[in-house]
Structure 1
Amino acid sequence: MNNIVISGYYGSKNAGDEAMLSAMLEVFSELNPKLHITVISSDPEYTRKRHSVDAVNWLNVVDILKVLKKADLLISGGGSLLQNVTSGRSLYYYMGVLFLAKLVHTPIMLYAQGIGPIYGKFARRLMRWFGNHSALITVRDKDSLKELDMLKIVKPPIKATADPVLAINAVDKKSGREIFKKSHISLTKPIIGISVREWREWQHYKDVLAEVADEAVTKLNAQIVFMPMQYPEDVKAAKKIVAKMKQPACILKEDFTTRELMSLVGNMDLMIGIRLHALIFAGVMGTPMIGISYDPKIDRFLKSIDEDVVGDLENVTVEALMQEINAKWNNKEIYRNQNLKRMAKLRSLARSNAEMALEFIDKNK
């Protein structure tokens, strides 16, 4: 039996990362049902229950070393683990896991990573060493290839693929409809979903979203639904925006599963997202989307499907956002079909991450 260990931001109830893990496990099980997988998690019990997979605590070095010794491959990813924009400490943690793998001679695959930006000479030097001592690297966008090139990471096979979540299968819309009914959201009126996050306690983007949401209610007769991708943090951010609004809005206040979130998005007429995986869910479910950037990964994803961000958290305007909403509102089916066609290609690339990992294990054995 082949064994792999997966390291990432798992167990922290971030819907995007949990979706990533779900998608990875789904593809690996389809390709090799006998594969044994252990996940390094901040909450092993949560990960075991949610994903039906073995898990060890992310701070238990002894347990991590034990599973790595038995593993044929350490998968670091997916996600934006190797960057120090959103967090300086997390970069060193994930490099620490790579170090433990090297310590017990377990091959490393950087899996569908969004690489960088990485600031600081020491951090870049470390990243160069770990990158060049990996067995295989896949990145989820072409800008990450440029980052690897600037870091002078050239030794392992490197390929641009796609975010692992894009390999996940679309889900039935029934559970989303049931959640909307329980939340008193009408299924006969249009629904605009908004996925927000707190960012440095900035107020500008909250003011803009509050005004835009009010306009959408009054001018488009839409219902506004705030959907948490990280629970409960995103609920708090949504409450701050709703407090600024004059029109009613609904905040969903549960820790939903990946399938439930995808089903909710599938029942929406439009998704406005700050969270990357809210936008990816929209793509998978064929829902028109508008992205607001706080991190290069948002720009990179939208670029991969030939779309642009409407602005970033500092400079987004009511006028620009309403203009984009109106454009997509009046051409929903065109954007829906357009996104589904583009996603089909990315789905194949996303699956190739797992295919390359298993091919490496087979050759290495």
Structure 2
Amino acid sequence: MALRIALAGWYGSDNLGDEMILSCMAAALRARGVEPVAVSIDPERTAAVHGVEAVAHRSPLDGAALRRSLCNAHAMVLSGGVVQSETSPWNMWFHTSRLRAYGRSVPAPSNRRPARAVVAAIGLGAGHVRGAVGRRMAVSALRRACHVVTRDADSARRLRDWGVPDVAVGADPVLAGDAALVSSRAAATRPPPSHPPEPTGSTHSHRDSTDTICVILRPPNRRGIRTAAAKARTSWQPWMGQLAQSLDALAERSGMTLRLLPFQPSQDTPMLVALQQRMKTDAELVTLNIDNVLAEVARSRFVVTMRYHGAIAALLNDQAAVALDYSPKMRSLAAEGGGWASVVDLAPLDAGRFEPRMLIDAVNEAQDKSHRTAEARGSLRARLKVNDAALDDLLELIQ
């Protein structure tokens, strides 16, 4: 019987960043002869897209069913930016309920199963968690993990400050690059290309880029008890006039066409369509999926992004980038490698004081910093070894 490891994160939605994490984590397990089992809010979709076994978990109330589904899993790995309450106050309840369900699924010890549930967090992101209860939930769950490896130093510092011991700093799994995405999903939807990109260095040549600007926007996080999806329907509306004016000015100043990329179509597309209608200049709305996302980002000269994995894609593609700072993770990623990307504070948008020059100045700064992308990419990819070491140690514990 092959070893089976459950992968937990925000999988099964149309968020391409999380889907890329799943692809890269599944590839890492398969390379070690381990069968990945994805915990998904849409298991049918996950199985079809990724070619992995998937089990359902859509609510903390589904714990009993999840326990039964995971009874043959030998370990669980949690990944992605799930330690936060920025998107919803229910976020910590949701993700820690999966860890609890797995812990209760472990049967009596045998020669193939350890006496306790083996859990690791690898490539974990920790943002703002409001309230002591949410932080206690995170600390309680992560203290039981055999390894906690964050994707950035700021996440590690937060967890240590809250009381999580022995936190290591690794990297986001997607930094393994396009080669990992292809190898993970070859059996699911497509054969690998005849000349797959190497896993080191840039995945993109500037010869391939056109005179366009890649714009990746998302609805802002708002406080409140509603789910992130519910809040996303209207949270962006006060921004539209300022964003349209600023992007029009950027297109006119640069002489480039804008390409609007929805990294989570269900939430981002309504916002981008409304933006298109408000803008005076033409902007192309691009259809994305996990197969084409890195290539579509690579088609532009530089990237303006609110999405974390939009910035990761720019880094992989060796592109200048502007990180729109809606969450602490954006500033943290932009600071890697001596500061490879520029950062725009979005507080003036909420105050109605955002001016086009703020975006234009940030784009100019990003292009001046673009020579640092190779260093930042190299240092982050070197930290993937920390992820790998934690995964290898996990396998030793369960073998």
TM-score, with structure 2 as normaliser: 0.79
Aligned to 2:357: 319
**RMSD of aligned C-alpha atoms?**
2.3
1:188-242 CA-to-partner distances (Å, cap 9, x unmatched) read: 9511010011225244543333123212332222011100100132111111212
| Cross-structure match for 2:44 | 45
Distance (whole Å) between structure 1 residues aligned to residue 99 and residue 293 of structure 2: 32
Relative to structure 1, the CA distance from residue 301 to residue 188 in structure 2 (aligned partners, 3 Å threshold; closer, same or farther) is closer
Instruction: Tell me by how many angstroms 1:351 deviates.
Output: 4.9
Structure 1 270/281 Cα, relative in aligned 2: closer, same or farther at 3 Å? same
SS at match of 2:265: coil
1:268 and 2:300 aligned: yes
Letter in 1 for 2:356: V
Aligned to 2:66: 64
Q: 1:121 to 1:327 in 2, by over 3 A?
A: closer
Equivalence for 1:295: 327
Asked if 1:124 corresponds to 2:135, the answer is yes
Map of 1:151 onto structure 2: 162
Q: Alignment partner of 1:341: what SS?
A: helix
Counterpart code for 1:75: V
Deviates more, 1:216-225 or 1:305-314: 305-314
**Aligned-partner Cα distance in 2 for 1:204–1:302:** 26
Query: Any conservation in 1 of the 2:29–2:35 contact (CA below 8 Å)?
Result: no
> What SS does the aligned partner of 1:81 have?
strand
Given the two structures, how large is their TM-score scaled by the length of structure 1? 0.86
C-alpha distance in 1, partners of 2:47/2:385?
23
State the one-letter code of the partner of 1:197: R
C-alpha separation in 1, matches of 2:307 and 2:385: 22
Give the letter for the 2:144 counterpart.
H
CA shift at 1:348, angstroms? 2.7
Q: Structure 1 residues 248, 96: CA separation in 2 closer, same or farther (over 3 Å shift)?
A: same
**Structure 2 counterpart SS, 1:69:** coil
The whole-number CA distance in structure 1 between the counterparts of 2:209 and 2:156 is 45
How far off is 1:134 after superposition? 1.6
8 A contact 1:311–1:317 mirrored in 2: no
Tell me the distance in 1 between the aligned counterparts of 2:348 and 2:43. 37
Q: 1:163-312 residue pairs with structure 2 within 5 A?
A: 163-169=172-178, 190-199=211-220, 200=222, 201-203=235-237, 205-252=239-286, 254=287, 256-305=288-337, 306=339, 307-312=341-346
Matched, 1:345 2:379: yes
Partners of 2:147 and 2:83 in 1: how far apart?
Answer: 15
> Runs of 5+ in structure 1 lacking a partner?
175-186
Q: Distance in 1 between matches of 2:10 and 2:53?
A: 16
**Change in 2 beyond 3 A, CA 1:283/1:69:** same
Aligned identity (percent) is 22
> Counterpart of 1:137?
148
